[in-house]
Structure 1
Amino acid sequence: MSRVPRRLAMVAAPITAALMLLTACGGSGTNSNAPAPKAALGQNDINPQDVANLKDGGELKYPVQDYPVQFNELQGDATSGDIPPITRSMMPTPSIEKADGTFTANKDYVDSIELKSKDPQQVVYKLNHKAKWSDGTPITWADYKSQWQAVSGKDKAFVVLSSSGYSAVSDITKGADDYEFTINFQPKYAEWFRLFQVLYPKSMTSNPDEFNKGWAEKPKVTGGPFKFGQADPTAKTVIVVRDDNWWGDRPKLDRIIFRNISTTGGAASMDALASGELDFSGIAGNLDAYKKAQTIPGVVFRKATLPNMRWVLFNGSGDSVVKDPELRKAIIRGIDVASITKAEVSQLIPDAKPLGNHIILDGFPGYQDNSAGYTYDAEAAKKKLDELGWKLDGQFRKKDGKQLTVRDVVPAGNKASDEEAKLVQNQLAAIGVEVKIDEVSNDGFFDKQVIPGNFDITHFANMDVTNLDTTTVDYKLGDGGDQNYGKVGNDKINALIAQASEELDDAKRMELFNQIDKQVWDLGHSLPLYRRPSIVAIKDKLANFGNEGLAATDYTKIGWLK
């Protein structure tokens, strides 16, 4: 499945959500217990077929881990990674990512996107005159300008998920007509191509109430190959149907049914796949699910390499016991990431290694291991805890009469989080730190636990790393650090992020990312574990779909082989 800009997933969650879970290892649906084969960076695995080989009609039963709380994916409540797969089947996607991680103009909406000038930085859009909203209104430069104004962060009445990128835009000016405009940046913005991966109509983005609440129950206007059919919050399904007024290539499917499966990637989703209730399911690192899927007739695996990682996040805010950065770093040294990696993914990826970088994952350009001094060393951890005044008193440590007890919040039914939490619990007990695992409802895990900082530590997947947007929202402190849930950061990191944001040279930007990562290690912000071995189990007759890698999904070409 394609990447979307969400890290949130119990997964992944980030994601995490089903879409994000759908990244992966693949191969044939045999009964072998061999490790899932590797996937090359920059490639995808979607069973590519000429649309002439596909049936006209049919449906796709698509699992999601969260029913959408909001159909405006730019709004602050739209944290789940399951929202973009739904919305982007219906809404314009002007800038789309390819399998190799580069971006291009989606010709259904944009004739061209060109970096016209580097200093001052200007990007020129020329729009497809055929593009229109479902109410017949043309899609023009005014829609783009209105979205920028809403998401820029300047008007606090608009509650946005992230203003990253948009906040660097100084103005959007009309060109020769309503179908041409220039984006002016001040300061410069390195990853300018990431803007407008989704577009909403001016009728929504020009009004704060409409932006924040108007699309909570359903979208009011669409502009994609599919249009809104129905949403059933009781059955937790969203149905989109083919839009006959679509001006691009006619979609092969009649409809897509997005169905909430709370334990995507586990036994329930494998049973649903076997019974025909689903047409595919993410597996991630769940070995039991992988083996189960191998027994389902007509099911194969599809693979791709994505910048998705599992991590342990620390809470440095409020009254959390791990508010002290030195304590966080001591605890980090008491966690054996190598053994966790081996336990969780070695049967699927035998050569999997612990990550030494929060921002650039192994296998991606610019990766270097910055973990020196923060790797597992139980004796060093004990010594540091002693120095901090946390003395062993019986089985666990105390300071000023208070026992060192860390609350580890995990979502119920998530195998990876549960297993990781138990391993961390045992490892930290060995250095005198008590870990209490607090298993909470999977429903609203992020909204009720992670976002408000209701944890000491927690586990989930960060689904979209190795880019500026993720770096900003995860590690910046203050405005723009929308998903820095532990509130751990400093002015130096903020300054480096600002510098990276303006650096148009990719190699130099990677150097800055590594400088940021060293600071992140030094603050004990979080502990990266391993790159996720995501897996998609999918019906073998489903074509042009499965694991897009970094590429955006082309909903018009998904279909069933004749």
Structure 2
Amino acid sequence: LAAQPLTLSPVTAGQRASLMTQAARLELGEAQSRGSASEVREARAQLTEATHARAGADELRLLSDGGAKVQRMKAGKPLTLRFVLPSGPGSEPIRATGTRIAKALTRIGVRTKMKQVPDEEYFAKHITTGDYDLAIYSWPGTAYPATDARPIFAKPAAAADGSLLVEQNYTRVGTNQIDQLFDQASKELDDGARNDLIKRADARIWAAAGSVPLYQRPQLVAASEKVANAGAFGFETPRYQDIGFEK
């Protein structure tokens, strides 16, 4: 840890960001009413600056709440991770999770720079291209990890055109041994032996630590009280002959 204390003023920074946002929105509205393209561009630039100021104020608030007094260093520079999150109205749970992660990192002296991007750009321009330090996304679980999970953890390889083929491994972290264990598991017919290979691959995945599972989403199913044997089946195969209405 560095011996340099962090100077925090979250209240002042938040007030400044709010005033900047109000002024920028007022300028934008007036510029649009006047129909001046140059004034609209300038007002939008001011609004962007205000958004950055708000992000900085939120970062200071997180640091203050977390109680961090020093900041970790890497290669002689303060360690700050760029945390990319979607900004859309349906992404509140992801942003809430991101806030909790940022607070946890703050407690160990790791700063995060939160960056919110439009939902339509989140995966296309950031996750798939690797343009992030931290990001949150989820994968659906299946009953066949030997085949379905392999692309998520496969080691990136050079494609014929010289680009990097990452499949679904957006962390770009992988090893030859993980690939070999998945390949062996996908060809293994014995359930016990296949499970052992998957467990060995799982241990290697945790050791590589390219991604960290946070939680498992529950499967929620709504059904009438009169319907029997219907609900969240998980990986089980439903017995449709047992599903029906109670008398």
Q: Classify the TM-score, shorter chain.
A: 0.5 to 0.7
1:507 aligns with 2:192: yes
Structure 1 residue aligned with 2:82? 407
For residues 461 and 452 of structure 1, what CA distance do their matches in structure 2 show? 17
Structure 2 residue aligned with 1:469? 147
Q: Is the 8 A contact 1:409 1:456 kept in 2?
A: yes
1:450 aligns with 2:127: yes
* Cα distance change of structure 1 residues 433 and 500 upon mapping to structure 2, 3 Å threshold: same
How far does residue 415 in structure 1 lie from its aligned partner after superposition?
A: 3.0
How much identity, in percent, do the aligned residues show?
31
Q: Which residue, out of 51, 72, 79, partners 1:397?
A: 72
Structure 2 residue aligned with 1:428? 105
Partner SS, residue 98 of structure 2? helix
How far does residue 476 in structure 1 lie from its aligned partner after superposition?
A: 1.0
Q: Which residue, out of 94, 97, 101, partners 1:417?
A: 94
* Cα distance change of structure 1 residues 438 and 538 upon mapping to structure 2, 3 Å threshold: farther
TM-score, with normalisation over the residues of structure 1?
Answer: 0.26
**Structure 2 unaligned regions, length at least 5:** 1-67, 158-164, 239-247
1:532 aligns with 2:217: yes
Question: 1:316-348 CA deviation, whole Å, 9 max, x = no partner?
Answer: xxxxxxxxxxxxxxxxxxxxxxxxxxxxxxxxx
How far does residue 537 in structure 1 lie from its aligned partner after superposition?
A: 4.9
How far does residue 408 in structure 1 lie from its aligned partner after superposition?
A: 1.6
Q: Match of 1:477, as an amino acid?
A: K
Which one has a larger percent helix, Structure 1 or Structure 2? 2
How far does residue 442 in structure 1 lie from its aligned partner after superposition?
A: 1.8
Give runs of aligned pairs for residues 69-468 of structure 1, distance below 5 A.
395-412=70-87, 413-466=90-143, 467-468=145-146
Q: Is the 8 A contact 2:81 2:112 kept in 1?
A: yes
Q: Match of 1:420, as an amino acid?
A: T
How far does residue 468 in structure 1 lie from its aligned partner after superposition?
A: 1.8
Partner SS, residue 435 of structure 1? strand
Q: Is the 8 A contact 2:219 2:232 kept in 1?
A: no
Question: 1:216-253 CA deviation, whole Å, 9 max, x = no partner?
Answer: xxxxxxxxxxxxxxxxxxxxxxxxxxxxxxxxxxxxxx
* Cα distance change of structure 1 residues 408 and 539 upon mapping to structure 2, 3 Å threshold: farther
Which one has a larger percent strand, Structure 1 or Structure 2? 1
Q: Match of 2:193, as an amino acid?
A: K
Q: Match of 2:209, as an amino acid?
A: G
How far does residue 508 in structure 1 lie from its aligned partner after superposition?
A: 0.9
For residues 465 and 421 of structure 1, what CA distance do their matches in structure 2 show? 25
Question: 1:59-87 CA deviation, whole Å, 9 max, x = no partner?
Answer: xxxxxxxxxxxxxxxxxxxxxxxxxxxxx
How far does residue 401 in structure 1 lie from its aligned partner after superposition?
A: 4.1
For residues 520 and 476 of structure 1, what CA distance do their matches in structure 2 show? 10
For residues 116 and 209 of structure 2, what CA distance do their matches in structure 1 show? 24
For residues 538 and 437 of structure 1, what CA distance do their matches in structure 2 show? 40
Question: 1:426-450 CA deviation, whole Å, 9 max, x = no partner?
Answer: 1111111001222222224222221
How far does residue 540 in structure 1 lie from its aligned partner after superposition?
A: 8.6
Q: Match of 1:442, as an amino acid?
A: D
**Structure 1 unaligned regions, length at least 5:** 1-391, 554-562
For residues 105 and 130 of structure 2, what CA distance do their matches in structure 1 show? 22
Query: What is the root-mean-square deviation in Å for CA atoms of aligned residues?
Result: 3.1
Partner SS, residue 462 of structure 1? coil
Q: Match of 2:152, as an amino acid?
A: D
For residues 230 and 116 of structure 2, what CA distance do their matches in structure 1 show? 34
Q: Is the 8 A contact 2:219 2:234 kept in 1?
A: no
| Deviation larger for 465-474 or 495-504 | 465-474
TM-score, with normalisation over the residues of structure 2?
Answer: 0.56
Question: 1:460-480 CA deviation, whole Å, 9 max, x = no partner?
Answer: 222124522232111111368
* Larger relative contact order, structure 1 or 2 (CA cutoff 8 Å, min sep 6): 1
Rg (Cα) greater in structure:
2
For residues 237 and 103 of structure 2, what CA distance do their matches in structure 1 show? 41
For residues 538 and 442 of structure 1, what CA distance do their matches in structure 2 show? 32
* Cα distance change of structure 1 residues 465 and 415 upon mapping to structure 2, 3 Å threshold: farther
Question: 1:372-404 CA deviation, whole Å, 9 max, x = no partner?
Answer: xxxxxxxxxxxxxxxxxxxx9x63222344220
Q: Match of 1:471, as an amino acid?
A: A
Partner SS, residue 194 of structure 2? helix
State how many pairs are aligned. Answer: 161
Q: Is the 8 A contact 1:472 1:481 kept in 2?
A: no
Q: Is the 8 A contact 1:411 1:445 kept in 2?
A: yes
